[in-house]
């Protein structure tokens, strides 16, 4: 069975998402949906679709989730809802470049929302220095 590594920095830990995390991720999921989300992502690890829980090193509290797909590609893409500017800052800090706006791309709570699309070339990643 394949298992994801645990990655850590001075401030953060990235570890495999587990069913125990479901209670810590109610937003934006209604009752029961967070558990389904976690189960879906943990079962997809064999297909190259990975989800990591992000924790603070000192507090060990879940502060987010990062999903990774098709890790061995020349061109990686990521997106975030426009209202979530903090995610955009994380992408930029890690070398992603803004490609554009996908209008009304995601439907949340019966409302369509715009998404910002970013990309990262393998050559960009190799030349990038990430500051923690």
* 100 and 44 housed in the same domain: no
User: If 0-12 CB within 10 Å is exposed, 13-18 middle and 19+ buried, where does residue 21 land?
Assistant: buried
* 67 and 38 housed in the same domain: yes
Q: pLDDT digit string (tens) for 46-72? A: 566 778 888 998 887 888 888 777 666
Task: Give the pLDDT of residue 108.
Answer: 77
Task: Give the pLDDT of residue 91.
Answer: 86
* 53 and 16 housed in the same domain: yes
- pTM as predicted: 0.58
In terms of residue numbers, what domain contains 54? 1-71
Residue 103, Cβ neighbours under 10 Å: how many? 10
* 44 and 78 housed in the same domain: no
* 49 and 91 housed in the same domain: no
Task: Give the pLDDT of residue 23.
Answer: 85
């Amino acid at each position: 069975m394949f298992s994801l590594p645990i990655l850590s920095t001075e401030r953060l830990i990235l570890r495999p998402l587990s069913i125990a995390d479901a209670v810590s991720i109610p937003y934006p999921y209604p009752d029961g949906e967070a558990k389904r989300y976690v189960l879906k992502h943990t079962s997809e690890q064999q297909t190259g679709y990975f989800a990591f829980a992000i924790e603070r090193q000192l507090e060990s509290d879940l502060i987010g989730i990062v999903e990774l797909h098709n890790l061995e590609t020349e061109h990686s893409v990521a997106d975030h809802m426009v209202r979530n500017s903090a995610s955009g800052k994380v992408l930029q800090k890690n070398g992603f470049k803004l490609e554009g706006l996908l209008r009304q791309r995601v439907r949340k709570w019966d409302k369509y929302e715009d998404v910002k699309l970013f990309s990262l070339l393998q050559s960009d990643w190799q030349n990038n220095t990430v500051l923690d």
